[in-house]
Amino acid sequence: MNRAELVKIIREKKSVLCVGLDTDLNKIPKHLLEEEDPAFAFNKAIIDATRDVAVAYKINTAFYEAQGLKGWISMEKTLNYIPKNIFTIADAKRGDIGNTSEQYARTFFYTYPYDSVTVAPYMGADSVQPFLQFEDKWAIVLGLTSNAGSADFQLQDCSNEKLYEKVLRTVASWGTPENIMFVIGATRKEQLQHVRSLLPEHFFLIPGVGAQGGDVATVCDNALNKDGGVLINVSRGIIYAGSGTDFAEKAAVAAKEYQQQMAAYL
């Protein structure tokens, strides 16, 4: 999916909601465990319940990889089930030397035809560039994350700037706002304003809303741009909104509430 198409669905749906499918077999409603493919049964119901208000789905590959082959089968069925006019993200945090990153790009753009994949920047240009060679595909590179560990390296001073600022500035120069987004796990007003001032055009994938403490209003007040320019991810706050047989209805209500908060800004 290219940028114009993404912006179009944001405007049509008045939403920047990304639903995170961090599907954990220990957390899904117990009655689904009797299904042949519990993870897919859960995801299918969540997608049906949220597709009208979601502009993106983010599949956290770790939760599927941990199940071995059957996890990859659930993941592929989920990816295929997502409507083609919704943006898809493989949240896989890959990145390696060039010939290996080429294999990861092949994995998540071809073998599994996602629109985008999250990428870790530590190994530098030749680890990111292989992800930028595919038309209408995106690398979503880690900039500033929302976890406690972000202070260990990302927030350290690095030649007159923070490491994450150097990463944003440097990685942005390797591609364009048409093929690079950044993970910005900021939840504070000042951080969001600052990052937006550094990169006025780029899309940001913003986790950390809901279970991780951020809120939609602060993100929208401080990080939107003329195209929307953000994808706000909510995982646990939607997919585990309910834990009984009405989990999908509860997810629909939660997703709709998030979308309505966003609509006021779009």
Residues designated catalytic: 93
Cβ-in-10-Å burial (0-12, 13-18, 19+) of 173 comes to exposed
Closest approach of a second copy to the CB of residue 95, in Å: 6
Give the C-alpha separation, 170 to 71, whole Å: 35
* Token pair in block for residue 35: 């299904």
Question: CB-wise, 60 or 259, nearer to a second copy?
Answer: 60
Max Cα–Cα distance, the chain, nearest Å: 56
Residues facing 231 on adjacent strands: 205
Q: Which of 106, 176, 217, 243 binds a second copy (CB under 8 A)?
A: 106
Q: Does 93 bind a second copy (CB under 8 A)?
A: yes
Residue with token string 């030397």: 97
Residue with token string 């117990």: 30
CB neighbours (10 Å) of residue 167?
22
Closest approach of a second copy to the CB of residue 205, in Å: 13
* Token pair in block for residue 177: 């706002």
Distances from the Cα of 113 to the Cα of 80, 180, 259, angstroms: 9, 17, 26
Contact call for residues 230 and 219 (beta carbons, < 8 A): yes
Q: Does 96 bind a second copy (CB under 8 A)?
A: yes
Q: Does 100 bind a second copy (CB under 8 A)?
A: yes
Closest approach of a second copy to the CB of residue 97, in Å: 4
Closest approach of a second copy to the CB of residue 74, in Å: 12
Question: CB-wise, 173 or 176, nearer to a second copy?
Answer: 173
Interface with a second copy by CB under 8 A: which range of 11-19, 29-37, 140-148, 254-262?
A: 140-148
Q: Which of 44, 166, 250, 256 binds a second copy (CB under 8 A)?
A: 166
Question: CB-wise, 243 or 245, nearer to a second copy?
Answer: 243
CA-wise closest residue to 184 among 16, 30, 7, 3: 16
Q: Which of 15, 43, 50, 60 binds a second copy (CB under 8 A)?
A: 60
Segment 73 to 92, residues that bind a second copy, using CB under 8 A: 73, 76, 91
Segment 8 to 47, residues that bind a second copy, using CB under 8 A: 22, 24
H or E element at residue 63: helix 61-65
Can you give the binding site for a second copy, defined by CB under 8 A?
22, 24, 60, 62-63, 65-69, 72-73, 76, 91, 93-101, 103-104, 106-107, 110-112, 120-128, 142, 145-154, 156-159, 163, 166-167, 170
